[in-house]
Structures are given as structure tokens and as C-alpha cells.
Amino acid sequence: MAKELKFEDMMKKLETIADDLETGQMPLDESLKKYEEGVKLLRLCRKRLDETKRKVEMLVKKGDKLTLEAFQE
């Protein structure tokens, strides 16, 4: 994971890891490595989502004017 992956690519890789782990066909050592890789990817995805969420702004129409407001959940 030296180069920065796109979010979508990280999610696909996570799905692949989950599928591999669910089969139960890998040796324990390999399963542990895959699990650790998945945890790292999950943390990266969560961080990327948090960063993106902070950047999201909504255009809100107030009267005749459009204004930018921070995203609120």
C-alpha cells in the first residue's frame, strides 16, 4: 500500500479480503496477514471518509441568495 489507493479500490480490496477469509481455506498465518491488511485498509477508509465529510459543504438557498454551510448530520 505504498501508493495512495482510491477509496473505491480500497473497498474492493476489503471485499476480496473478506471473501478470502470467509472461505476458511487459507493457513492460519496467511489468514492473520490478510486480517491485518484488512484492518489497515479499514482504518484508511474510515480516515478518508472522515476527511471528506469535513470538506463537504452544502449549498443552501436563503431567500434569493445561495450560501455555503458546513455539512451537518
Q: Domain map of the chain by residue range?
A: 7-70
Beta strands in the chain, from DSSP E residues, in sequence order? 57-62, 65-70
What is the dihedral sign for C-alpha 39, 45, 49, 51? positive
Are 13 and 1 in contact by the 8 Å Cβ rule? The answer is no
pLDDT at 2: 45
* pLDDT digits 0-9 by tens, 26-68: 999 999 999 999 999 999 999 999 888 777 766 666 777 777 7
Which class for 13: exposed (0-12), middle (13-18), buried (19 or more C-beta within 10 A)? middle
CATH 3.30.70, domain 7-70, yes or no? no
- pTM, full prediction: 0.70
